[in-house]
Structure 1
C-alpha cells in the first residue's frame, strides 16, 4: 500500500472523489487530513479550472488535503487519471498530519509528519506563477472558478 496526498478534485466533497471510492479503480482508504510541511503554489488554471500543485517548494502556501492508503491498482489508475508523467509527476513530499487515529506506527498521531506521494506539475505556463495561490481547494469556493468536467 502506498500513501497518496490529494488536494483538489479527488478530495471528499469534490467533483472527482467518486473515483477514489470506485473499487473498479482499486482500493483507497482515508488515513488523515494533512498539510504540506513546505509551502507550494496551489493554483487554478486552464479553461477547465483544474487545481494544480506546482512543483516549486518554498513558494506559495502550506496546502491542506487528505492522505489515502491506496493499493497498486488504484495507484496505477491515479497515474493514468493524472496523465502521469506527462501532465503531472508523482512526487514524494513530507506532510504534517492534522488529525488521525494515532495509537501505533501505522496510524500516526496528529502533529506528526509522514511522507506520501502527491501529483505535482513541472509542466506549466510561466504566468501560472503569478496566479493567486490557495491553502485549500474547493471547486465551489469563493474564487468563482468551478471545476469543469472534460
Structure 2
C-alpha cells in the first residue's frame, strides 16, 4: 500500500481567508484551518485591479510590512486546485516558500504562499503607489470591492490583461 502524500501548509492573505469571497473554494477542497499567522519578514501586500490582493517581495530595503493571514493544510490535489485557481500556469501568481509565525506563539512554520509573478510584481507595486500603498492585512472592506472572476473581462487572461493595462496607465494625481 502506498503512503499518502504529505499535505502542504499554505499561507493565505486575501480572498481565500475564512469569511472572504473565495474561501468556499478552499473549504471545498477539504483543507483544514491550521491557525492565524503573520510573515516573519516584511513583504509588500498591495491591492490591484478588481480589488485583488497581491503579495510582492519588498522591492526596496525600507518597503514591506509584516502581513497577517491564515494557514491551511492542503493535500496534493487541493494544492493543484489552488495553483489552477491562482493562475500559476498563466503567470498570474507563483507559489513560493515563506516563513510565518503562528499567532499567539513563537512557533515559526514553513508555508507556501502565492506571490504576484516576478514578471510584473515590481511594476504593479510601483503603479499601486509603492510603500504608500502597502497594507498589513486584506480586510473585509477590501473584499467588499473585490470583483470575482465571473464579473471580470471574459477569458482566462482577464486578470492579467487588467494588470497589464493598469500598469501601463499613469496614476491619477493625488
Which shifted more, 129-138 or 118-127? 118-127
Larger Rg: 2
TM-score (norm 1): 0.82
Unaligned runs of 5+ in 1: 100-109
Q: Which runs of 4 or more aligned residues in structure 1 lie more than 2 Å from their structure 2 counterparts after TM superposition?
A: 55-59, 127-131
More helix, by proportion: 2
- 1:95 pairs, out of 82, 100, 104, with 100
Alignment of 1:25-36 (within 5 A): 26-36=29-39
- Name the residue aligned to 2:47: 44
Alignment of 1:1-150 (within 5 A): 1-22=7-28, 26-46=29-49, 48-56=50-58, 59-85=63-89, 86-99=91-104, 110-121=105-116, 122=118, 123-124=120-121, 126=123, 128-129=125-126, 130-131=129-130, 132-141=133-142, 146-150=145-149
Cα RMSD over matched residues? 1.9
